[in-house]
Amino acid sequence: MDPDPNGSAEAPAALVLGGGGARAAYQTGVLHYVGEAFPDASMPLMTGVSAGSINAAHLAADPGPWKARTARLVRYWEGLTADDVFAPRSPWAIARSMLWGRPSKTQTLLDTSPLRAYLDRRLPTDDAGRLTGVADNLEAGRLKGLAISTSNYATLQTVTWVQGCSMHDWERPNRVGRRARLGLDHVMASTALPMVFPAVRLDDAWYGDGGLRMLDPLAPAVHLGADRLFVVSTRYERSQAEANRSARTPAYPSLFQMMGILANVLMLDVLEHDAAVLRRINRLVRKLRPGTHEPLRPIDLLVLRPSVDLGALAGDYQMDLGGAMGTLLSSVQWRTDPPPDWWSMLLFQPDYLDRLLEIGYNDARRQHDRIEAFFAREPVDQSTSTFFRS
């Protein structure tokens, strides 16, 4: 939406949800508090990438008021188990497919058909798997736009699929925007971790996790016309003392330690970097004389983060994956590594998910004043970039 003739910005707020696998339960805990404390809150634009696309799709397809939508999203996560998300593939099935078959979905470590079936039961869809609730909410005015980001394996571009809004397709060398009737395939593609979860075919190409090459995760919301971004990150921001303690590694970095580093880079760090860049641009734009910075405009930004390290927390929980991945885990001593970030992304264990829901809710409650300022269109305090630790 464009600014009105009087110069007051009418552009809507956007909810921006990044990746993190099972950590997306933390996002739900934050939104649960927001729904209770601010039942009339309006975030009619929603963007999701990776696991965040699941939460965004739920909220965008739910026809209820904001408070009811966030409460139902909590129930989705409370009832979730690993069996609802994936099924392990046996080492022999993977080896047989790689040695004697053409490249196919069976060459990934985990099968995500249970997740698709679970989403199909939870979300209103038609026979083609399209999210009918999104179209209904757009028509009723409860939603202005939903964007889900994926990675095109052939072109190595980030492709953001958009339903709603009057936006035009955007074209950049490494990221493009396309209008589409969003469905379960778009959500499944956005969550498809390479080698772990199978790719998904959309139109004429194969797509995977939207966070792989997404250097500008806030850009889709800006393209949709938002002037305020409500961002829920699942990345814990360490203190200097914590960073120094982590620097002392007793042994050679293991495979799983390196997997954790890659998981952070792909799913978590880029969003934080983009937020920092946006804050710097905001400061520059606001220093320019009125009328001299068109078409640039400041974008109000609120980023909420965990008060505890969700990766380190995952080390306290057990889960038997089975299959090829379980065999690999059992043959490697990985629990002596630094915080197992990669493990937290696959840990769809009810007790861990419940803990994340609780942490997210309490973190948001402690940030009530900043959230209230955001919805009141008042300047949000940016002096602290993380939650206050209790």
Residue 241 has pLDDT above 80, yes or no: no
Contact 274, 217 (CB under 8 A): yes
Tell me what the mean pLDDT of segment 14-41 comes to: 95
User: What is residue 217's predicted lDDT score, i.e. its pLDDT?
Assistant: 87
Tell me what the mean pLDDT of segment 372-386 comes to: 71
> How many structural domains does the chain have?
1
Q: In whole angstroms, how large is the CA radius of gyration of the chain?
A: 21
DSSP assignments along 148-159, one per residue:
EEEEETTT--EE
Q: Percent of the chain scored above 90 by pLDDT?
A: 49
Length of the chain: 390
User: What is residue 286's predicted lDDT score, i.e. its pLDDT?
Assistant: 76
User: What is residue 246's predicted lDDT score, i.e. its pLDDT?
Assistant: 60
Tell me what the mean pLDDT of segment 107-123 comes to: 90
- Residue 129 CA: distances (Å) to CA of 24, 63, 87: 23, 18, 21
Max CA separation in the chain (angstroms): 67
CA 106, 108, 109, 114 dihedral sign is negative
Does 244 fall in a domain? no
Of residues 342 and 53, more confidence is placed in 53
Q: Which of 33-42, 55-64, 190-199, 366-375 has the lowest mean pLDDT?
A: 190-199
Nearest CA to 51 among 158, 210, 263, 254?
210
User: What is residue 299's predicted lDDT score, i.e. its pLDDT?
Assistant: 86
- Residue 279 CA: distances (Å) to CA of 16, 231, 262, 294, 306: 16, 13, 25, 18, 20
Of residues 265 and 226, more confidence is placed in 226
Q: Which of 41-45, 124-128, 245-249, 295-299 has the lowest mean pLDDT?
A: 245-249
Residues 123, 133: Cα–Cα separation, whole Å: 8
Residue 3 has pLDDT above 70, yes or no: no
Residues 99, 78: Cα–Cα separation, whole Å: 40
Residue 389 has pLDDT above 60, yes or no: no
Which are the catalytic amino acids?
Answer: 50, 209
Q: How confident is the model over 193-204, as pLDDT tens digits?
A: 888 899 999 998
Does 382 fall in a domain? no
Judged on CB neighbours under 10 Å (0-12, 13-18, 19+), 231 is: buried
Token pair of 183, please? 């469905």
Residue 295 has pLDDT above 90, yes or no: no
User: What is residue 13's predicted lDDT score, i.e. its pLDDT?
Assistant: 94
Does 365 fall in a domain? yes
User: What is residue 339's predicted lDDT score, i.e. its pLDDT?
Assistant: 53
Average pLDDT, the chain: 83
User: What is residue 288's predicted lDDT score, i.e. its pLDDT?
Assistant: 75
Does 381 fall in a domain? no
Structural domain range at position 136: 13-236+251-375
Nearest CA to 238 among 268, 215, 211, 212?
268
User: What is residue 181's predicted lDDT score, i.e. its pLDDT?
Assistant: 95
Q: Percent of the chain scored above 70 by pLDDT?
A: 76
Of residues 155 and 256, more confidence is placed in 155
Q: Which of 18-32, 116-130, 157-171, 270-284 has the lowest mean pLDDT?
A: 270-284
Phi/psi at 195 (nearest 5 deg)? 70, -25
Q: Which of 57-66, 85-94, 157-166, 231-240 has the lowest mean pLDDT?
A: 85-94
Q: E strand or H helix at 201, and its extent?
A: strand 200-202
Q: How far is CA 110 from the centre of its chain?
A: 20
Tell me what the mean pLDDT of segment 327-345 comes to: 63
Does 79 fall in a domain? yes
Q: Using alpha carbons only, what angle is made at residue 325 by residues 322 and 329, rounded to the nearest 5 degrees?
A: 90
Identify the band that residue 390 occupies on the pLDDT scale cut at 50, 70 and 90: very low
Identify the band that residue 105 occupies on the pLDDT scale cut at 50, 70 and 90: low
Please give the model's pTM, rounded to 2 decimal places: 0.86
Residue 9 has pLDDT above 70, yes or no: no
User: What is residue 271's predicted lDDT score, i.e. its pLDDT?
Assistant: 78
Nearest CA to 97 among 330, 332, 324?
324
In the chain, the amino acid numbered 24 is A
User: What is residue 308's predicted lDDT score, i.e. its pLDDT?
Assistant: 93
User: What is residue 278's predicted lDDT score, i.e. its pLDDT?
Assistant: 83
29: phi > 0 → left, psi -120 to 50 → alpha, else beta; which?
alpha
User: What is residue 7's predicted lDDT score, i.e. its pLDDT?
Assistant: 37
Does 387 fall in a domain? no
Query: 66-75, 280-289, 325-334: which has the highest mean pLDDT?
Result: 66-75
Does 5 fall in a domain? no
Does 385 fall in a domain? no
User: What is residue 293's predicted lDDT score, i.e. its pLDDT?
Assistant: 56
Tell me what the mean pLDDT of segment 142-167 comes to: 92
Identify the band that residue 47 occupies on the pLDDT scale cut at 50, 70 and 90: very high
Residue 80 has pLDDT above 60, yes or no: yes
Residue 66 has pLDDT above 60, yes or no: yes
